[in-house]
Structure 1
């Protein structure tokens, strides 16, 4: 579809005047309808499976009911215990339970079957009673034999067991332990009578307290001649509750659109509640996604932000969402063919599940016998011989189940991405409405096909407008750099990247001629972006100077979090390893940690070699890692750990990512391995983490000092129960507030899985633990958000209208890359020419002064002096020349 020529202006003309208005109207109506259909399909599926408690609307109702119902059950226990005369049969059993656990089990059981008109009281009560007994068994097991309990739990966690499977395993295992008297688990089974009585008592509590359900005779029960005329009772929602729930479901459907791109420039944000989409069919999220779960807190924060003047922020987000995009149809054509072949081309996930291991003949025979026994309503007992075969089969099947679960998620994302690209391929231009998180980072609102999506999504997108590549603007070099970088040659100097591209011209021409025959691109680091760059490069070669290029060319920061930490304190050590100073080759901090720099940093490689040569008790651990890495520790071993450090990466995070790396390079056997094997593996990981943490702590010593200092400031303010506000150099105001998520935490072992349930609405009381945990990463994120906004400000002033952003990766047309490279360096320097720590400290001091004046009646001057004493002293800065960034070719590369 070709967009007619128009002089329509976003800021002055009515949207109805835009030539694509009717199509936009239709698309936004489709977004609403597809979202509503998806919600409705999920509800229908939940109804069929009696799992309605998983619906967001139902979960909200459950959360509202749990506190009062738990308190009501507690009061019933207390009153029944004090009453003279016979006690309820259920009393001693419910008395032993946490009342909120009993409340959750009851509400979940009833709400799971809410889709039915009537739930038979007998079956419902028995289900609730048995689940309560199961819960008590699990708690006894965990209390008396925690080691054995967590052994089974960890095994099910590794295998990603479903709730049904967990319940079955735990019930059977508990019964076996009691029967075999393996451990001291003296348990007197409740029996049907007790289970029924417990269930009835809890149902009665729900009916009495909420008023939303009622007990009544089953209207469908047929009385038979000669049989008892006792009515069959059911539990049913009241008509009033049904109407309320129906309206709530309708509202949820309408407020759950499938966000997609727009075909006319997105609506400018007018405050933080209105912008992005044009019609009432799509209710966009707020412009800023606040870190507060309590709705009143969100509304309060929204009111505050509406009153703040942030022109640079609004201009930046409008530039991003006014960038016009189109589908790269040649890449889409290849993606559709590759997806249809289902051969994993370009790292696409398999469409079909991996097959499970074949069952043995004995297992198949036993399954047939079990089905026959069920039809005949007789007991079936599996032999020990078949039991062993089933256990072995499950061990072999578990990793396949896990792989298939991951595959399904990736497969769905791929399907939606390609389908969306096919739908929007008819348009010559479309746009992505954007939003902010509370730290000032910008995100496209649509999912899947979007500029911050995965490699496939980004390969399918190109700018709608093209600009010429000339000898003067340097676009040809940048286009070659993009191609080499997407291929994986992004750690070498620019000249070597360009030389590599020129040396492989024949290969690129063959790929462009037929990508489905010449598939070298599929092995690239980012295959779909590599294919897009290859096609663009060959087009340039065929056209020559003046070629109109639309491909986004991207450059990435070098561990951007550490770049900010190094700039804050002018850290000349870490700053050198993240390219804050000029160098003839790009520096690589991940490689420095792994192998050292031959000068100031002794890397892991040398440390392990010294331990091995020393012959001490850790020699075999050092040898294990050296042999695994073929005596050459790769940067990939340390990359994820170093990357997350500025964002709150702890030793636990180092352990997690080291284990993930090891699982990729030295996979665990399909059966999980023996306990001795797992213990040895854990020892190896712990050993590596210890030494990696020591090396990183030395390289980024000053950065860690900044993170600790920020936490100390946050601790002082957190003691006042006040949010922390600070303003970054772009003018954006960060509101740092983590509210306590609950008043009462109910921890269940339902089906062997620890479940933490919020039984009260999030309070306005601040969570000091979360405030401290989040302050360092959020402060760093706020700085990279500010740098992006200031860079966009320069781009707008220079007339650069098309821009792509992935947080710490910036992109535009090849012909504008020289200008962008300069602007992003200037923006970074502008951020850090401010005393960002001093300004943060001053913001904390102002908060403390307000509290001291209001709560202690102090004189403002005295309060200011007191607040200054309460906060940590400013940190000393190093000798790094910040302006050197302006001359560093590989600062963003």
Structure 2
């Protein structure tokens, strides 16, 4: 058996360790740097490499860093705690992990272990500041375990999940000694199910001592780049940054192998952005109380004061806001910067940065703009007006007691009718707070500034914002298109109509009709529940979440959680209504359900043969879905500061066996995501060919300069028709059953019947993407 020193030596020989030079393993990056230097970027290249190196040395003594002393003091306290910890019966002067001399981590310096903890936390800052996706204990412990494994050179761990156990112990010490991080055990009950997710959260102490001074932005793992990112190729497994490698396909070491996707990624990451200083200045200087702010997030301290927003979520919004402003301030003086992009295993494309991105929250988007302005031209003013109306949340109007879409002309008219208010906001946004009432206040404020520029300069005004054309429930659009389901297609606006249709409203109507139909034959229990819901509002807002998530295989239990979250109804009433909602889909979108059932039935056959599901998306990305049966392992660690007590966390570990249920549940959403990701790639490439160079894309939201929104309007529709013209379900089935032995093909289901939707009419639909 090799010694720990030998393991470390082997690892060092295989990993590039010179932070000041581009690793020799990345010749393509070197060629890219040479091109940048030839283009006059030499000084900026050096600055970019220093930024990437700084992110790899998060405990630097750079005196220029704000709040450096706070960081040093906190980390020193943490190291001291590890130096004095005694974890075994033997008297030791530093932390010793379970297993004594048999545990390779006990040969690793305590300072290196402490730095690995801070490194892992910095790598997850963006996730911990996300109020909608709390960071699980297993995720952070797993990330730290990987870093600890690297410290030992990849030596075998002591015991099952030995590195994860050590990671938990180190994180416990970090929480106890710094107070910057806390672990919470939440409990969510719905009927007989109980969920107890363990999650990590940044604390208010962290915000006060470290984040408020901007230090975190300096140490974020992945920051925007000051030079164009390394272009992707079909064969590259890593790219983006000059030095820090990011995977082409997240969570894998596979190349993309698709010219369509590579071209789209390179177009997206070539877009130049800069900080919108006017919006940033308002965000940094506005200090009012929560009631006056009307729910806007300002200065990292101001959060929406809704009664139904949990304290943990409000705090996460506060911290996310603080990190966003910190990161924006760090870039405020840069002429331009870039976001490197990559994709997930289904093909969905994302910026690879940690804290800020064009796909961020409202404050983040409001503080960004294109570095290169585009004259509005003849039609740009109209699209800017429509954009303002949409951001204000005024894109719908009540007609005959129902919400319907405002027409494009009505949206433009709304903005012109509210021009006086818009100009008042621009003149003094601190005193004139009407913008805070908007659905997306920060983006609305940014658009107000643009409107003022348009009024001053007319069509020559160089706009730096993007008009966004959003899909009308994209998942349903994709399934309706590929099955030619005219009913579902009409509801998600693939069919032209004067004011558009409303899928969520249709579902609300179907649910109301269903509940009314139960009255005559209801027993006592059903009558009680009908009376309960008769006293509450059944509308599109209640049905929005279930309608959106059905296509992603959500079922009655998930719908029950959504209903309860929206209404606060008791478990039994929420679950009863959820079952009624689930029954409505067969009336409203039968073609969609048939397609989902087909995908699931094929999945069952392939999984029964012991094969994973492998297919190519329409854009050419190879996708493999192999969800395994999980087993649970309880990992115990000592409770810091309490002698004799221990606590446990449950880790989920994949076995070698495929899970029929999980494969079945995942196939429809993953297939649909691959299709809508292909649509986005096709649209980006088409627009690039038409001369568009500034992109602001978010999956099913297509953004480009206002002057080019007409091109976006046409491209989304033309590319959708082209995407849906082949038989996508048949192609998918051919792919996933290609390795299926002949004797196991008998149970394969027939393809579902196709409807009568004429794809050509999508060209004339105003509201399909609008």
Report TM bin, short chain. 0.7 to 0.9
Q: 1:159 to 1:565 in 2, by over 3 A?
A: closer
In structure 2, C-alpha distance between the alignment counterparts of 1:155 and 1:870, rounded to whole Å: 36
Deviation, 1:156, is: 11
Q: Deviations over 1:280-327 (max 9, x none)?
A: xxx23311014xxxxxxx4xxx3xx43x63111111001111111111
Deviation, 1:782, is: 0.1
Q: 1:341 to 1:707 in 2, by over 3 A?
A: same
Q: Is the 8 A contact 1:467 1:550 kept in 2?
A: yes
1:114-129 matched pairs, under 5 angstroms: none
Structure 2 counterpart SS, 1:522? helix
Alignment counterpart, residue 619 of structure 1, candidates 507, 511, 527 = 527
TM-score by length of 1: 0.63
Are residue 814 (structure 1) and residue 706 (structure 2) matched? yes
Are residue 823 (structure 1) and residue 715 (structure 2) matched? yes
Deviation, 1:605, is: 2.6
Q: 1:45 to 1:767 in 2, by over 3 A?
A: farther
Alignment counterpart, residue 246 of structure 2, candidates 259, 279, 285 = 285
Q: Deviations over 1:504-556 (max 9, x none)?
A: 11111111111111111101111111111122112212221222111111011
Structure 2 counterpart SS, 1:13? helix
1:508-547 matched pairs, under 5 angstroms: 508-547=422-461
Q: Is the 8 A contact 2:697 2:703 kept in 1?
A: yes
Aligned to 1:186: none
Aligned to 1:169: none
Deviation, 1:647, is: 1.1
Deviation, 1:627, is: 2.3
Alignment counterpart, residue 447 of structure 1, candidates 343, 348, 354 = 354
Deviation, 1:846, is: 1.2
Aligned to 1:237: none
Q: 1:648 to 1:477 in 2, by over 3 A?
A: same
Q: Deviations over 1:713-768 (max 9, x none)?
A: 122222333332212222222222234555x644989999984335x7x4555443
Q: 1:34 to 1:636 in 2, by over 3 A?
A: farther
1:870-889 matched pairs, under 5 angstroms: 870-889=747-766
Q: Deviations over 1:425-458 (max 9, x none)?
A: 1112111001100000001111332100001111
Q: Is the 8 A contact 1:263 1:429 kept in 2?
A: yes
Aligned to 2:554: 649
Deviation, 1:489, is: 1.8
In structure 1, C-alpha distance between the alignment counterparts of 2:36 and 2:350, rounded to whole Å: 26
Q: 1:275 to 1:625 in 2, by over 3 A?
A: same
Q: Which structure has more helix as a fraction of its residues?
A: 1
Aligned to 2:736: 844
Structure 2 counterpart SS, 1:847? coil
Q: Is the 8 A contact 1:349 1:410 kept in 2?
A: no
Q: Is the 8 A contact 1:613 1:619 kept in 2?
A: no
Structure 1 counterpart SS, 2:310? helix
Aligned to 1:241: none
Aligned to 1:705: 594
Q: Is the 8 A contact 2:299 2:325 kept in 1?
A: no
Q: 1:349 to 1:634 in 2, by over 3 A?
A: farther
Are residue 791 (structure 1) and residue 683 (structure 2) matched? yes
TM-score by length of 2: 0.73
Q: 1:752 to 1:810 in 2, by over 3 A?
A: farther
Deviation, 1:813, is: 0.3
In structure 2, C-alpha distance between the alignment counterparts of 1:417 and 1:525, rounded to whole Å: 19
Are residue 722 (structure 1) and residue 607 (structure 2) matched? no
In structure 2, C-alpha distance between the alignment counterparts of 1:31 and 1:557, rounded to whole Å: 37
Which ranges of structure 2 fall in alignment gaps of 5 or more residues? 1-30, 61-67, 88-94, 98-136, 175-188, 202-215, 397-404, 640-644
In structure 2, C-alpha distance between the alignment counterparts of 1:837 and 1:155, rounded to whole Å: 37
1:180-195 matched pairs, under 5 angstroms: none
Structure 1 counterpart SS, 2:716? helix
Q: 1:634 to 1:754 in 2, by over 3 A?
A: farther
Q: 1:691 to 1:56 in 2, by over 3 A?
A: closer
In structure 2, C-alpha distance between the alignment counterparts of 1:847 and 1:455, rounded to whole Å: 46
Q: Is the 8 A contact 2:341 2:352 kept in 1?
A: yes
Aligned to 1:88: none
Are residue 481 (structure 1) and residue 386 (structure 2) matched? yes
Q: 1:161 to 1:613 in 2, by over 3 A?
A: farther
Q: Is the 8 A contact 1:47 1:112 kept in 2?
A: no
1:104-115 matched pairs, under 5 angstroms: none
Q: Is the 8 A contact 2:545 2:562 kept in 1?
A: yes
Q: Is the 8 A contact 1:724 1:847 kept in 2?
A: no
Q: Is the 8 A contact 1:160 1:402 kept in 2?
A: no
Aligned to 2:124: none
In structure 1, C-alpha distance between the alignment counterparts of 2:307 and 2:409, rounded to whole Å: 45
Deviation, 1:608, is: 3.6
User: Radius of gyration: which is bigger?
Assistant: 1
In structure 2, C-alpha distance between the alignment counterparts of 1:777 and 1:12, rounded to whole Å: 42
Alignment counterpart, residue 13 of structure 1, candidates 29, 32, 35 = 35
In structure 1, C-alpha distance between the alignment counterparts of 2:341 and 2:635, rounded to whole Å: 38
Aligned to 2:322: 415
Structure 1 counterpart SS, 2:702? strand
Q: Is the 8 A contact 1:728 1:836 kept in 2?
A: no
Deviation, 1:10, is: 6.0
Alignment counterpart, residue 226 of structure 2, candidates 263, 267, 273 = 263
Structure 2 counterpart SS, 1:785? helix
Are residue 688 (structure 1) and residue 574 (structure 2) matched? no
Q: Is the 8 A contact 2:488 2:588 kept in 1?
A: yes
Q: Is the 8 A contact 2:296 2:302 kept in 1?
A: no
In structure 2, C-alpha distance between the alignment counterparts of 1:401 and 1:883, rounded to whole Å: 45
Structure 1 counterpart SS, 2:459? coil
Aligned to 1:348: 297
Aligned to 1:331: 279
Q: Deviations over 1:365-416 (max 9, x none)?
A: xxxxxxxxxxxxxxxxxxxxxxxxxxxxxxxxxx999933222221111011
Q: Is the 8 A contact 2:556 2:575 kept in 1?
A: no
1:567-586 matched pairs, under 5 angstroms: 567-586=481-500
Q: 1:588 to 1:353 in 2, by over 3 A?
A: closer
Alignment counterpart, residue 258 of structure 2, candidates 301, 305, 310 = 310
Aligned to 1:390: none
Q: 1:39 to 1:624 in 2, by over 3 A?
A: farther
Structure 2 counterpart SS, 1:446? coil
Q: 1:401 to 1:826 in 2, by over 3 A?
A: closer
Q: Is the 8 A contact 1:349 1:407 kept in 2?
A: no
Alignment counterpart, residue 28 of structure 1, candidates 42, 45, 52 = 52
Are residue 770 (structure 1) and residue 684 (structure 2) matched? no
Deviation, 1:620, is: 3.6
Q: Deviations over 1:603-643 (max 9, x none)?
A: 223334455687752334223323232xxx32110101111
In structure 2, C-alpha distance between the alignment counterparts of 1:872 and 1:46, rounded to whole Å: 61
Structure 2 counterpart SS, 1:834? coil
In structure 2, C-alpha distance between the alignment counterparts of 1:28 and 1:56, rounded to whole Å: 23
Aligned to 1:733: 622
Once superposed, what is the RMSD of the aligned Cα atoms? 4.0
In structure 2, C-alpha distance between the alignment counterparts of 1:615 and 1:719, rounded to whole Å: 42
Q: Which structure has more strand as a fraction of its residues?
A: 2
In structure 2, C-alpha distance between the alignment counterparts of 1:788 and 1:108, rounded to whole Å: 39
In structure 2, C-alpha distance between the alignment counterparts of 1:517 and 1:485, rounded to whole Å: 23
Aligned to 1:248: none
Deviation, 1:105, is: 13
Alignment counterpart, residue 345 of structure 2, candidates 415, 421, 438 = 438
